[in-house]
């Protein structure tokens, strides 16, 4: 019985690791988001609309989710 639990735990731990391609996609996406966030921030400061505020919020939350490894 102990052996079965160990195997299950080991299998579960192995599945938790993200694939390498997903890590690359996240890294590229985070790098693309930085200039987009800067542009969106300037646009929002010059002509603030509800859509711009929502878009900026989504972009910032996504960026920090990636950098803090929440996604």
Q: Are 60 and 38 in contact (CB under 8 A)?
A: no
pLDDT digits (tens, 9 = 90+) for 6-18: 554 544 445 567 7
- List the pLDDT tens digit at each of the 71 positions of the chain: 555 555 545 444 455 677 898 889 888 999 999 999 999 999 999 999 999 999 999 999 999 998 888 87
Query: Interior CA angle at 18 toward 17 and 19, to 5°?
Result: 120
State both tokens at 49: 């609309």
């Amino acid at each position: 019985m102990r052996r079965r639990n160990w195997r299950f735990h080991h299998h579960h731990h192995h599945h938790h690791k993200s694939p390498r391609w997903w890590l690359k996609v996240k890294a590229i996406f985070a790098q693309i988001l930085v200039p987009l966030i800067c542009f969106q921030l300037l646009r929002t400061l010059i002509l603030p609309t509800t859509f711009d505020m929502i878009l900026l919020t989504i972009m910032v939350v996504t960026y920090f989710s990636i950098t803090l490894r929440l996604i």
